[in-house]
A and B are shown apart, each in its own frame.
Chain A
Amino acid sequence: MTVIADPALAADARRERRFFLSLSLPALFIVGLAAILPILWIIRQSFLTTGGEYTVGNYEKVLSSGLTWSALVTTLELSLGTLAICILLGTPLALALASARPKVANLLMAFVMLPLWTSILVRTYGWLVLLRRDGLINAALTGSGLTAEPLPLAYNFTGTLIGMVHYMLPLFLLPVYAAMRDIDANLIRASASMGATLGQAIRMVILPLSAGGIFSGSMMVFIYTIGFFITPAVLGGGKVNPLSIRIERTLSTFQDWGSASVLGILLLVLMALIGMMFLAARRLMARNNVDATDA
């Protein structure tokens, strides 16, 4: 750290810091206006009856309803399912990208990123065209005689999961790829020179060193997917009903803003809990790593 001896320079530095801080004011203002105020409004709404009186009845109604809990289970099933598939598909892909020559890696990365630039609505309907009963995939399967009957790929849990994985995979891949690319190649060479097989090098060097990236990616997938709406709405065929769909239904069919607000808060709390769990797990892991180096 440099110590600034000259008082004039110190004053300059202070001014600079103040100036930089003031630059962030518009952003802070927008965040406050666009995120915090509406959340406060939703919290208030959750304590109001349709007539506008204060009540805790909305909480009783929502928390005692079996519909809430079955929606919660569906939400977690979708998020965990998406996460599991993203880890299974994304980690090897990130490894392949990180070990490819830079030119090839850049090209492959462009392919990975391409879907990110397409609207989620377009992509979801695109999946519908591919997955439905007379869609391309089923036409290929039945046409080639692989299956006698078209498979139920769309309008169910499977279709929803496919759509969600497709959306989340690039977002999972980015931090994992970044972590793997930053691994010092000398460490892998060192492990190899000491007789590690490729499997051992992956297990004992690459995966532990990229764990931080896998963690960030997982957190992103989980928190993103908890609130997914369009994909289950289009590809779920009315049979996959997570909390987000429950909220929409409470608003549109029941016009019950109070209960919808309670469900929204439930979703928010769920995200916060999961976020904290991930951070705690990461801290624990970091400590274990330090212990391991100490020993």
Chain B
Amino acid sequence: MSRLLRISLAAIAVSAALPVYAQTVTITTAGGDYGNAIKEAMWAPAAKELGYDVREETQSDGLAALKMQVTSGAVTTDIIHLGSPEGAQAAAQSLLEPLDYKIIDPNSVPAGAKSDYCYPFDSYGTVMSWNTKTYGDNPPKTWAEFWDVAKFPGRRALRANAQDLIEIALLSDGLAPADVYPVLSTPEGLERAIKRLDAIKPNVSVWWTSGAQSAQLLKDGEADLVVTWNGRAQTVKTDGGAIDYTFKGSVIGTDCLAVPKGAPNKEAAMKLIAAMTQPARVAKLTDFIAYGPVNPAGYEGDLIPKDRLKTLATAPENAGTSVFSNADWWVKNGEAAQKAFDEMMAR
């Protein structure tokens, strides 16, 4: 064998063997601006630190994708980004590996938000946003006013999903935030919420299906009053859109990271979750999108600039009027709520 051939064979062998040494981890996020923020602030620097080769997939519906992968036995993703109610639902359907709290710091999550299966890392508010060209200095201030189409005429856009809207509908009916779930735990509670949504339905011009779509509706002025996530509204506002929003009466939820059952790189996934959710990294996420850390340490020091704090759903001055989304209620009643919602839509 010629020397040249031998050298090139050796080179091929080495280059083929090299990737094996770099641990690969696949992460699935929601994509868009948000997915990009998670990449830039969280997993890309963490992957660099750990020397991992991280691949990204995007899915607008994480739970459906997760279920597809786990039940078909073809799990390709190691970490999946879910909303906490979906995380709880996925855990109830045994689609997730338990989190390894020997690798992930158990004290990084406040007791109330802790989950054995899906690690909550950021929080967001489902907020009221409006077109400032339509309403000027006098926008609706409460959900009751959002529902008041005589006083505030205009086209509404709501999410085509019962989540958060059920809580908002009850707030619009004059309930105090603390009374929302007690009322929802009674048999009439859900009915009452659906009735309120039915009442606003004729004034809803678009029922949106993705966060990016809701941002587009705001930006284009297609709708005057939009229920959306604070991060989306803030992004449109920062981009110069003629819009504003309020945290008054927002429904606060958290997003979480989980490891699918049977994930190919389980341990590396746990390590990456631990590394990407370090306080400095979840604080850095707010550089890109206005979703604040769940980990209290993320608010310490000057990790997040003072003036940005008030753009976060969890900031102290934004609390008080908000409802914390209750994952347990959604796991138990989610299907009934979605069905009642769909039936209301089909009427």
Contacts and interface: CB of A to CB of B under 8 A. Distances in A.
A251 B220 contact: no
Contact of B206 (A66, A237, A249): A237
Given A132-B222, A133-B222, A238-B160, A255 B207 contact: no
Contacts of A251: 64
Contact of A67 (B220, B335, B346): B346
A242 B346 CA distance: 11
Interface in A140-180: 152, 154-155
Contacts of A200: none
Interface residues of A, number: 23
A59 B205 CA distance: 33
A239 interface: yes
Given A237-B206, A251-B64, A134 B221 contact: yes
B343 interface: yes
Contacts of B89: 255
Contacts, number: 53
Nearest to A52: B71
A254 interface: yes
Given A237-B207, A238-B207, A252 B343 contact: no
B104 interface: no
B206 A155 contact: yes
B338 interface: yes
Given A66-B343, A255-B67, A134 B222 contact: yes
Pick the most buried of A134, A237, A249: most chain B CB atoms within 10 A of its CB: A237
Given A66-B343, A66-B346, A155-B206, A252 B63 contact: yes
A152 to B, nearest CB: 7
Nearest to B209: A238
Interface in A253-268: 253-255, 257
A255 B209 contact: no
Interface in A237-287: 237-239, 241, 249, 251-255, 257
A252 B64 CA distance: 5
A71 B346 CA distance: 8
A116 interface: no
A233 interface: yes
Interface in B293-347: 335, 338-339, 342-343, 345-346
Question: Interface SS of chain A: helix, strand, loop or mixed?
Answer: loop
Interface string B196-221: 00000000011111000000000011
A239 B222 contact: no
B205 A132 contact: no
B61 interface: yes
Contacts of B205: 152, 155, 237
B67 A132 contact: no
A289 interface: no
Nearest to B224: A133
A66 B340 CA distance: 11
A255 B93 CA distance: 10
Interface of A: 50, 66-67, 70-71, 132-134, 152, 154-155, 233, 237-239, 241, 249, 251-255, 257
Interface of B: 61, 63-64, 67, 71, 89, 93, 155, 160-161, 205-209, 220-222, 335, 338-339, 342-343, 345-346
27 contacts: A67-B339, A67-B342, A67-B343, A67-B346, A132-B220, A134-B220, A134-B221, A134-B222, A152-B205, A155-B205, A155-B206, A233-B209, A237-B205, A237-B206, A238-B160, A238-B206, A241-B345, A251-B64, A252-B61, A252-B63, A254-B335, A254-B338, A254-B339, A255-B64, A255-B67, A255-B89, A257-B71
